[in-house]
Amino acid sequence: MTGGRDDLAVGVDVGGTKIAAGVVDRAGEVLEVLRVDSPAADAGAIRDAIADLVTQLRARHRVTAVGVGAAGFVDKTRSVVLFAPNLAWRDMPLRADLVDRLGLPVVIENDGNAAAWGEFAFGAGADTDDLLLLTVGTGVGGGIVLDGRLHRGAFGVAAEVGHLRVVPDGRLCGCGNHGCLEQYASGSALVRSAREEAAAGNPLARDLLDRAGGDPARITGPVITEAAQRGDAFAVAQLATVGRWLGEGLASLAVVLDPAVAVIGGGVSAAGDLLLDPVREGFAGQWRGTRPALEVRRAELGNRAGVIGAADLARR
């Protein structure tokens, strides 16, 4: 076991493809990270993988608590994963199972909430008391901090911002509703639109299609972002469309939450101001100067936010 520190916690970020576990100190510094592929279709195997990662880490570090961020609905007591769309968890008593296995205090949290807390405590929102995190990846996730406290709602499932309806009778969403924000403002929406235009023979998409070897199916988010950063006008426009949708959704959320800062994270945020400037424009276009403009910032912690936030929430 390294060192003699007793302020260390493990944060675990559980996704549909990867599970990452890291040892985090009180200052938010990640001391060691382990990753494994996620056995997403087997609920017990996911739990076992989490326990194994924590066991490996505590063999080298004096760990006092464990926080798990899961992509799904977590109950008010931070104990049970009620539903996870990309994991085989349905009413899974994860906290009790892990406490029995590990003999440590355990907190279960939604992954968006964990990431929001990480950015609030140690990242882009460390100078504010009110923050809204939007994670733009395969879908659109979120987390809310108000008056310095993580807002979880009456049932523990607040901040599912990707399922804010923005287009009545719009595109069918994986949640079963139509017209959700993530159908227009996510990485999946970005890629779908670019592939459709390329497959339809839009001449403006020709350079992007060439970058993908002539196959529309090989157009990915990183390919679009790289093309945009090199000045490809079509790729820039695709990112701008996603950004404007995101900004308009943010304007609706601000009516209720009135945050000082909106932090944009997730894989698509790698585009930087090519995404964030249209977000700002989309927000401003809804209000035209009639209310204070919140500040839109890019997330600072990257894919470590969930690990850092989950660990800090467990320690608290």
- Phi and psi at residue 111, in whole multiples of 5°? -65, -35
SS3 38: coil
> Are both 93 and 177 inside the same structural domain?
no
Helix (H) or strand (E) holding 102: helix 94-102
- Per the domain annotation, does 2 fall within a domain? no
Helix, strand, coil percentages for the chain (3-state, nearest 5): 45, 20, 35
> Are both 113 and 157 inside the same structural domain?
no
- The per-residue pLDDT for 82 is 92
- Per the domain annotation, does 1 fall within a domain? no
- Per the domain annotation, does 122 fall within a domain? no
pLDDT in tens, 56-75: 999 999 999 999 999 889 99
| Domain CATH code at residue 42 | 3.30.420.40
Q: H helices then E strands: how many in the chain? A: 10, 13
Rg (C-alpha) for the chain, rounded Å, is: 20
> Are both 96 and 133 inside the same structural domain?
no
Inter-residue contact 198 to 178 (CB < 8 Å): no
- Per the domain annotation, does 33 fall within a domain? yes
Say whether pLDDT at 3 is over 60: no
Phi-psi region of 108 (alpha: psi -120 to 50; beta: other; left: phi over 0): beta
- Per the domain annotation, does 287 fall within a domain? yes
Q: Which two tokens stand for residue 192?
A: 């779908």
> Are both 258 and 147 inside the same structural domain?
yes
- The per-residue pLDDT for 17 is 84
Q: Which two tokens stand for residue 270?
A: 């790698």
- Per the domain annotation, does 144 fall within a domain? yes
> Are both 192 and 267 inside the same structural domain?
yes
Percentage, residues of the chain above pLDDT 90: 84
Q: Which two tokens stand for residue 23?
A: 């040892």
> What are the C-alpha distances in Å from 19 to residues 38, 50, 66, 188?
6, 8, 14, 21
Task: Please report where in the chains the tokens 């990431």 appear, as a residue.
Answer: 115
> Are both 174 and 93 inside the same structural domain?
no
> Are both 41 and 137 inside the same structural domain?
no
Full residue range of the structural domain in which residue 74 is found: 8-117+304-315
Supply the pTM of this predicted model.
0.92
- Per the domain annotation, does 123 fall within a domain? no
Inter-residue contact 14 to 303 (CB < 8 Å): no
- The per-residue pLDDT for 1 is 60
- Per the domain annotation, does 196 fall within a domain? yes
- The per-residue pLDDT for 5 is 64
CA atoms in the 13 A half-sphere facing the CB of 295:
11
> Are both 194 and 244 inside the same structural domain?
yes
Inter-residue contact 106 to 50 (CB < 8 Å): no
Strand partners, 68: 12, 108
Task: Please report where in the chains the tokens 């939007």 appear, as a residue.
Answer: 134
Say whether pLDDT at 4 is over 60: no
> Are both 292 and 155 inside the same structural domain?
yes
Q: 304: which residues sit within 8 A by CB, 6+ positions away?
A: 22, 30, 33, 118
pLDDT in tens, 227-259: 999 999 999 999 999 999 999 999 999 999 999
Taken in order 268, 274, 277, 281, the sign of the CA dihedral is negative
> Are both 47 and 136 inside the same structural domain?
no
> Are both 251 and 134 inside the same structural domain?
yes
The total of structural domains in the chain comes to 2
> Are both 148 and 238 inside the same structural domain?
yes
Q: 53: which residues sit within 8 A by CB, 6+ positions away?
A: 10, 12, 19, 21, 34, 36
**Given pLDDT bands bounded at 50, 70 and 90, which one contains residue 290?**
confident
- 308: nearest Cα among 72, 47, 60, 8: 8
- The per-residue pLDDT for 104 is 97
